[in-house]
Amino acid sequence: MLSFIIKSILAVLSVFFTVYFFATGYWGWGISFIFLSALVILTFFRNENIILALNQMRVGNHEKAYAILQRITYPQLLIKRQQAYYYYLIGMLGTKEMGLAKSEQLLRKALSIGLKTNQDKAVAHMHIGGICLQTGRKREAVNMFDEAKRLDKDGMLSDQLKMLKKQAAQVASKNQLRMAQLGGGRMKTGRVK
């Protein structure tokens, strides 16, 4: 919230000084302040913490990327597209800290808000499918994997999706697990008289 207030104040001041310098005849300073105003206003549309987190993910430092994303305290103040990517990144990186249910909820929220590229949507569907597979929802996991395959037009996730579908074929469904638990794992034997 504090960074949003600071950005707003800087944007208003830079626009004010741009107009002031042009009105008083200091054209050089006015042009310089146009660039400064554009830079400050651009930070409303591109959050610096998300950019830094994406850079850390590219390097492979997921813990630092998650720590950088934790600096964003009011994600509802971000524009819609930035909100979607915030929830997408937090959902993928924070699975250990938050748990599977919260991670799935955040990824679904990112999809509902709207991710920009089909590749990001495919990765989100693949992660949700993996979570569904771990929690015993086999049918939903297979549907998510099919949706990810449909969105992955470049085939970058094809190997991972094949491996996950193979695992889904081997995993017992939730109903089979429940029936095994009800049976207590006992073998059926005849009555002893």
Question: Which tens digits make up the pLDDT trace of 107-128?
Answer: 999 999 988 889 989 999 999 9
pLDDT at 187: 47
Mean pLDDT of the chain: 85
Other CB atoms within a 10 A radius of the CB of residue 2 amount to: 8
CB 4 within 8 A of CB 77: yes
H or E element: which one contains 39?
Answer: helix 27-45
pLDDT at residue 104 is higher than 70? yes
Q: Quick one: average pLDDT of 11-29? A: 92
pLDDT at 74: 84
pLDDT at residue 139 is higher than 50? yes
pLDDT at 165: 84
Torsion angle, CA of 116/117/121/124, rounded to 10 degrees? -80
DSSP class of 77: G
pTM for the predicted model, two decimal places: 0.74
Report d(CA 87, CA 92) in Å as an integer.
8
Q: Quick one: average pLDDT of 91-111? A: 90
pLDDT at 48: 85
pLDDT at residue 191 is higher than 60? no
Q: What percent of the chain has pLDDT over 90?
A: 37
Other CB atoms within a 10 A radius of the CB of residue 77 amount to: 14
Lowest-pLDDT range of 88-92, 124-128, 176-180: 176-180
Lowest-pLDDT range of 128-137, 141-150, 167-176: 167-176
pLDDT at 185: 53
pLDDT at residue 12 is higher than 50? yes
Could you report how far apart the first and last alpha carbons of the chain are, in Å? 76
CB 46 within 8 A of CB 68: no
Report d(CA 29, CA 15) in Å as an integer.
12
Question: Which tens digits make up the pLDDT trace of 25-81?
Answer: 999 999 999 999 998 888 777 888 888 998 998 898 989 999 999 988 888 888 888
Q: At 112, list the tokens.
A: 């509902």
Other CB atoms within a 10 A radius of the CB of residue 165 amount to: 16
